[in-house]
Structure 1
């Protein structure tokens, strides 16, 4: 279907806003997103509705929604059936954005390896020179890291100079998890926790009560507790524990790091603690993964 550049911009903006908000989008919000006059949006919406690319919703919460035909018109039909692929800018996930296609355009020229990245989301959130990371991709668990060198607002694409490409190996977490786990008692004082961290040269440990994992403490938790009272008990400042089964693939651990914004996960077998896997363990296994899901909170 042949659409004008303005119609493509409007449709891309509508889909991006709809995916983010999950509700009908008002014309003025589309206009603001792509810096067009509201009158231009209204006029084009009549054509897009006639082409069955959008539907209008009446009422106070009314607005416009893209139809399935709209996704097809912009070559986004596969997105409705596939998994999301996240994109990160300066180490932080860009909400409402997901990657649809990565086209490596200069493979024969390794010193200028570039890619065209088609996405659903507001492409105007990115500027030339931004450091970005993408991944993991489905099936192959690929991660890309690079720098934005251009932007195509009409086709909703980014041009990225690729600096690194990595793939998470398909191995179980037990293969790289630390087996000698230092644990904390729920009644240990904050000073006892500090001494344990220093003695074993660690930055976090699970809290275990009668062989049951009841929490996790990391270095930053200790600092906050010390300000309050040196006699504060571990059970009073521990955080919830994120766990993973010993036989789950390594990519599952990486996804948990990202989803829960943590750097360590307790490895369990039949609900029993058998190890700890940290973001550092993954880095060591891969030498360098090149993906910063978050700003080095605690490792």
Structure 2
């Protein structure tokens, strides 16, 4: 669609800029482009500024500044559009009428962190801002390891600058830690043929809210929680029936070598509060990690 608008001198600069950005997922400096092309940096900078005026490039000033290609740039060179789940800074998730609108965040500035007023985040985004409205709830996550998570309300939308001003309600820094170092290695299991009454007693005695269910060969076949048991009691069903009748047959797992940020992502996505930890080599369960385990670790951190 845009190919005919670019002269060869513009195209070669844009193609190098896109390539460098795809490789590093960070702001690209004009001198980097100039070095690869063997051209004068001033000349390259002028070309990039023209590309910016035409909407092919976004820029940021300062020591950490530089340039990033827009979606229009990818269209122009008939390249593969970038996946918006791995942009240069992170991802912006806007919650509207039961659906998630995802935008790429290419830069963010936190304002008023030490002020008496609510702190705000000024986010430069890439994506369709016309789908976003002021007053909507938003979540900002840095990637790929989701070290920083911010939640808040959109206070201002600037279509011309491609910016959102977000009033922050929550902010958390997720430490880089492996699941195996945070979860519990004390794995309590119950047998599929055990009665629900026996399982309830096991959970109570061990002070836990859920446990994997195993068959006679020791294979995990399900999961049971105190919530499941409470529903059986509330419905006046048979608490002497085998747990296999009421257990959850989908067991959510995570590798012991994954990060706690990944554990949080899985829990959020599936709406569960615990994951079975699996050894990636033996494929055997080695423990369990819960939301509480992660929360305690973050608070201690």
Q: Give the TM-score, by structure 1 length.
A: 0.61
> CA shift at 1:176, angstroms?
0.9
Q: Distance in 2 between matches of 1:125 and 1:288?
A: 36
CA distance in 2, matches of 1:95, 1:288: 32
Q: Could you tell me which residue of structure 1 aligns to residue 106 of structure 2? A: 101
Match of 1:271 among 279, 283, 298: 283
> Unmatched 5+ residue regions in structure 1?
2-50, 54-66, 290-299
Residues 271 and 136 (structure 1 numbering): CA distance in 2 closer, same or farther, change over 3 Å?
Answer: same
RMSD between aligned alpha carbons? 3.7
Distance in 2, matches of 1:103 and 1:149, equals 15
**Equivalent position of 2:198 in the other structure:** 192
Larger Rg: 2
2:295 paired residue among 262, 280, 283: 283
Q: Secondary structure of the residue that 2:111 maps to in structure 1?
A: coil
8 Å CA contact 2:145–2:261 kept in 1: the answer is: no
Query: Of residues 258, 263, 267 in structure 2, which corresponds to 1:257?
Result: 267
Number of aligned residue pairs: give it: 222
Instruction: State the distance in 1 between where 2:264 and 2:207 align.
Output: 23
Flag the structure with more relative contact order, 1 or 2, with Cα contacts below 8 A and sequence separation at least 6: 1
Instruction: Summarize the alignment of residues 86-235 of structure 1 with structure 2, pairs less than 5 Å apart.
Output: 87=93, 89=95, 94-104=99-109, 106=111, 110-112=115-117, 113-117=119-123, 118=125, 120=127, 126-128=133-135, 130-139=136-145, 141-152=147-158, 157-209=163-215, 210-226=217-233, 227=235, 228-235=237-244
- Unaligned ranges ≥5, structure 2: 3-53, 57-69
Distance 1:166 1:271, change over 3 A: same
Q: Deviations over 1:171-213 (max 9, x none)?
A: 2111111111221111122222222222222221111233322
CA shift in 2, pair 1:131/1:95, >3 Å: closer
**Alignment CA distance shift 1:275-1:139 (3 Å):** closer
What do the CA deviations read for 1:123-164 (whole angstroms, capped 9, x no partner)?
655442x55432253256221123332233566643112344
Q: Secondary structure at the match of 1:255?
A: helix
- The two structures have a TM-score, normalised by structure 2, of 0.61
